[in-house]
């Protein structure tokens, strides 16, 4: 039995070693001030993160799921309103739509980037479509140029799910500044992660930001005065203090992730596996490093036996989850969504991976006793005409009410895509 330290999928202990003194001082500052809820530390983080993303406002909330849900609630969705998202994202993207009162509409992924296929998005739009949620999956910005152009042509709000893309850049602008509003998660394993749950909404919309500041705090900005029926979902001061320390490291850590990705690519290029493309540019922050292979579960077991941890993102597409039976619509075929669910395997990826760690991962893959090649080829699935037919072989289609009028009872600026 090997006594070597495993190659961890995410290594928050090494991260802590790097930050120990600064984290201790930051957390100590919160205890000394006894200001645990909202207050100066949260305000400072909100200012710094808004500036980092290149937007006017950041509002800290309890989680990434809450951040997305708040934005979609802010749009004032009515039953029957549809929100389009990629088919194999983390469940929270779909949950947010459901919690906000809408119906998730799932479309296929682009085989090259693994983000939402813009042609499938365009083909899924109908009179009930209110918003699109491009997910910057695995740390790569979705194809925002095309997505924004299509959305603006149809008057649809663009809500970025940036939970995996802190610091990723698209055409010179950071993720978070590319749509009407964006949701971030600060779950500890994220590129910018706290010491517990946390999230934030970033936006240029003054009205959405003002509404959120009330909504997250029992519907109140003045103690015991409640202007609306609100929630308790606030980023807490300890999270904010920790995040401020880590935000100063984020660009360097993302650059280290890119270096690790480049090394994986150059070392693994001779193996018959699918590798992420264009790994070096600033647009990718490699939250996850997925390879595409056959016999995925056997490969994972083999790597585990070599002391290498892996992950799967994600094994079951949303439309095949029991929770979404009769609660989503799938307007087109989903071949790539379904194939990545069985073929993608995420290798260890974090800024503290050493050269030796990467060599061990590479060596473990090279010694897999079998064929690594993914079975079958999937080409681009949705050139428009495929998705226009409403066939959904693997899912049930929800019964939708006729398109309702759209009274805007959300924050004034939040309901219309024309403002962004």
Ligand X SMILES: Cc1ncc(COP(=O)(O)O)c(C=O)c1O
Point out which residues bind ligand X (CB under 6 A). Answer: 63-65, 89-90, 92-93, 135, 161, 163-164, 185, 187, 197, 199
**299 burial type by CB count under 10 A (0-12 exposed, 13-18 middle, 19+ buried):** buried
**275 burial type by CB count under 10 A (0-12 exposed, 13-18 middle, 19+ buried):** middle
**130 phi and psi, to 5 degrees?**
-110, -30
Give whichever of 10 and 358 is closer to ligand X, judged by the CB atom. Answer: 10
Give whichever of 187 and 336 is closer to ligand X, judged by the CB atom. Answer: 187
Q: How far is the CB of 307 from ligand X (least distance, A)?
A: 26
240 vs 215: CA distance, rounded Å: 19
Give whichever of 194 and 331 is closer to ligand X, judged by the CB atom. Answer: 194
How far out from the chain centre does Cα 392 lie?
A: 25
Q: How far is the CB of 263 from ligand X (least distance, A)?
A: 24
Q: How far is the CB of 313 from ligand X (least distance, A)?
A: 8
Q: Which residue has its beta carbon closest to ligand X?
A: 64
Q: Within a 13 Å sphere around the CA of 183, how many CA atoms are in the beta-carbon half?
A: 31
Q: Quick check: 242 and 20 in contact, CB under 8 A?
A: no
Q: How far is the CB of 401 from ligand X (least distance, A)?
A: 27
Q: Quick check: 413 and 208 in contact, CB under 8 A?
A: yes
Query: Residues of 342-375 as b/e, b for ≥16 C-beta within 10 angstroms?
Result: bbbbbbbbbbbbeeebbebbbebbeebeeebebe
Q: Quick check: 208 and 72 in contact, CB under 8 A?
A: no
Give whichever of 64 and 335 is closer to ligand X, judged by the CB atom. Answer: 64
Token output for 193: 């992660």
Give whichever of 199 and 374 is closer to ligand X, judged by the CB atom. Answer: 199
DSSP class of residue 31?
A: H
The 3-state DSSP class for residue 113 equals coil
Give whichever of 273 and 341 is closer to ligand X, judged by the CB atom. Answer: 341
Q: How far is the CB of 314 from ligand X (least distance, A)?
A: 9
211 vs 195: CA distance, rounded Å: 27
Q: How far is the CB of 183 from ligand X (least distance, A)?
A: 7
Residue with tokens 């690519």: 265
Give whichever of 273 and 288 is closer to ligand X, judged by the CB atom. Answer: 288
Give whichever of 86 and 348 is closer to ligand X, judged by the CB atom. Answer: 86
Q: How far is the CB of 239 from ligand X (least distance, A)?
A: 11
- Work out the end-to-end distance of the chain between its first and last CA atoms, rounded to an integer number of angstroms: 58
Q: How far is the CB of 205 from ligand X (least distance, A)?
A: 20
């Amino acid at each position: 039995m090997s006594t070597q330290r495993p190659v961890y999928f995410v290594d928050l202990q090494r991260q802590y070693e790097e930050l120990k003194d600064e984290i201790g001082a930051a957390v100590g500052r919160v205890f000394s001030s006894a200001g645990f809820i909202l207050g100066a530390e949260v305000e400072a983080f909100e200012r710094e993160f808004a500036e980092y993303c290149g937007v006017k406002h950041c509002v800290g909330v309890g989680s990434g799921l809450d951040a997305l849900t708040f934005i979609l609630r802010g749009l004032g969705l009515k039953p029957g309103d549809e929100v389009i998202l990629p088919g194999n994202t983390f469940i929270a993207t779909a949950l947010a739509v459901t919690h906000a009162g809408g119906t998730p509409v799932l479309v296929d992924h682009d085989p090259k980037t693994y983000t939402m296929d813009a042609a499938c998005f365009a083909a899924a739009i109908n009179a009930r479509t209110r918003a699109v949620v491009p997910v910057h999956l695995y740390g790569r910005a979705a194809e925002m140029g095309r997505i924004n152009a299509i959305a603006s042509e149809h008057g649809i709000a663009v809500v970025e799910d940036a939970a995996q893309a802190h610091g990723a850049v698209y055409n010179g602008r950071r993720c978070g500044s590319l749509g009407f509003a964006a949701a971030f998660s600060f779950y500890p394993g994220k590129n910018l992660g706290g010491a517990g749950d946390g999230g934030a909404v970033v936006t240029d919309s003054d009205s959405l930001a003002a509404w959120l500041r009330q909504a997250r705090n029992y519907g109140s900005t003045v103690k015991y005065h409640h202007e609306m029926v609100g929630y308790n979902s606030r980023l807490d001061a300890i999270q904010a203090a920790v995040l401020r320390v880590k935000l100063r490291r984020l660009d360097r850590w993302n650059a280290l992730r890119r270096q690790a990705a480049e090394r994986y690519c150059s070392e693994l290029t001779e193996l018959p596996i699918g590798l992420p493309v264009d790994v070096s540019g600033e647009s990718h922050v490699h939250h996850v490093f997925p390879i595409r292979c056959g016999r995925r579960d056997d490969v994972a077991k083999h790597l585990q036996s070599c002391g290498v941890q892996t992950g799967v993102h994600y094994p079951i597409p949303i439309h095949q989850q029991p929770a979404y039976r009769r609660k989503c619509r799938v307007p087109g075929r989903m071949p790539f969504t379904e194939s990545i669910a069985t073929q993608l395997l995420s290798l260890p990826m974090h800024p503290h991976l050493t050269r030796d760690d990467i060599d061990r991962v590479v060596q473990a893959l090279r010694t897999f006793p079998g064929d690594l090649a993914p079975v079958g080829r999937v080409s681009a699935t949705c050139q428009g005409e495929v998705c226009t037919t409403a066939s959904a072989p693997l899912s049930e289609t929800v019964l939708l009410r006729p398109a309702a009028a759209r009274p805007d009872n959300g924050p004034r600026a939040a309901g219309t895509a024309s403002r962004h």
